Amino acid sequence: MAQLRRMKFAFALLFLYLSVTSINAQSNQNSATVPFHLDHNRIIVDVAVPLPNGDSKHVRAWVDNGDPTLNITEDLARALGLRSPDKLGGDSSDTIAKRRSIYLGNMLIDLSKIPITEILPDMPSLGVEMNIPSSVLRSYDVIVDYPRGELTLSSQGACTFRGKKVSAIVNDGNGLIQIAGSIDGRAYNLALDLGTPVCFIAGDLLSGWQRAHDSWLHMVGAISIANLWGLDGESLCELLRIPEINYGGLVLSSVIAVSFEKDRFDYFEKRAGVPTIGLIGADALLNYRVGLDYAHSSVYFQKSGDRALTHLDVVGLILHPEADGRYSILGVANIGGFSAVPGVKPKDILLDINNKPVTGLTMGNIWSMLKGNPGSARILTISREGRQFRVKAKVYRFL
């Protein structure tokens, strides 16, 4: 009996050791691969945020290597016990600042050295509570596998990169990436921004190419993936389909590009730290596995998907997300010299599409409802100054 008790005790110790080892291994993993979904071509992942009381809050996060600023919602800030506006960067006595982190899968991502730039009331058009910016990602190896819908983060040196290796310029201060390329026979730098749904290029260049090349498809109005935030200038943005962009030796064909407004472009270029003309966004890379090797200033591109070329087959609205979750009409695109949605005006409110309410949905949700086969139609319910009416809106191929 004594020997049996000793054996049971030994097995209990072994089980306890293996359990502790397993827990430690999980919490100290140096790599994590998690699924993501695309909403308006933005990479959205589920993360767990440890709270001061020992619990965790599960939230959605937007993975954005094209922005160094860390932003969270007021709801998440309250759960973390943070002040608003955030002043943690200058207060070394704040224990929450030292403990701030997230779990991606079972991998702990330390955020304590990254100051929160802004605490926002909400991010309704994104459906997230925080972002994961370049200032965080730059400390890791990163793989965004668009065809598989998987994001991998690992400690630097632990990732296996595949595909075409391209030299990059990585900003030492914020982790933003630029790659040398060429368009229409001239050399330029272009940022790599997987957090932006579509490519953006300086407006003067885009207008010049449009005037010089009648065959390059062109339109005015930031519809579909170009309708990022509903900023005032979006109804006047130019969209151009560029036949070919050489991006560090990688050839991207039939790329949709949107014009950068001058003030936004000036801010973008200053933050980049090097001369640039714009950025390559997600839409041009949806068939690729993209590897970010920050430690060696390299990016890897492996084509592994066969997704069809993006066409802007949509209802021609430009939307603006309101603070209460509603969407107002910022503008209406023209098609053949006429309004693409007759009867709809700026400042109207879009209430539903084919009897499905849109209030509280993400921008990506709404644009998926507005897409379709050219010639088909959507029935929109519109509110104007308290009066509701319905409009039959045709789907057109704009580009």
The pTM of this model reads 0.89
Pick from 263, 225, 219, 260: nearest CA to 241 = 219
Per-position b or e across 317-337, b if 16+ CB within 10 A of its CB: bbbbbeeeebbebbbbbebee
CATH superfamily of 313-397: PDZ domain (2.30.42.10)
Domain residue ranges of the chain, discontinuous segments joined by +: 32-137, 164-303, 313-397
pLDDT for position 10 = 43
Tokens of 379: 């029935």
**Virtual CA dihedral for 387, 391, 395, 399, nearest 10 degrees?**
-50
pLDDT for position 99 = 58
Class of 164-303 per CATH? Answer: mainly beta
pLDDT digits (tens, 9 = 90+) for 1-23: 444 444 444 444 434 333 433 33
One of 3.40.390, 3.30.350, 2.40.70, 3.40.50 is the CATH number of 32-137, namely 2.40.70
Q: Are 231 and 174 in contact (CB under 8 A)?
A: no
Decide if 164-303 and 313-397 have a common fold: no
Pick from 135, 123, 159: nearest CA to 296 = 159
Q: Are 315 and 340 in contact (CB under 8 A)?
A: yes
**Which pLDDT tens digits describe the chain residue by residue (399 residues)?**
444 444 444 444 434 333 433 333 334 589 999 999 999 999 999 999 999 999 999 999 999 999 999 999 999 999 998 865 444 444 433 444 445 899 999 999 999 889 999 999 888 899 999 999 999 999 999 999 999 999 999 999 999 999 999 999 999 999 999 999 999 999 999 999 999 999 999 999 999 999 999 999 999 999 999 999 999 999 999 999 999 999 999 999 999 999 999 999 999 999 999 999 999 999 999 999 999 999 999 999 999 999 999 999 999 999 999 999 999 999 999 999 999 999 999 999 999 999 999 999 999 999 999 999 999 999 999 999 999 999 999 999 999
Pick from 385, 356, 382, 383: nearest CA to 369 = 356
In DSSP notation, 64-82 reads ETT---EEEEHHHHHHHT-
Q: Are 265 and 138 in contact (CB under 8 A)?
A: no
pLDDT digits (tens, 9 = 90+) for 219-244: 999 999 999 999 999 999 999 999 99
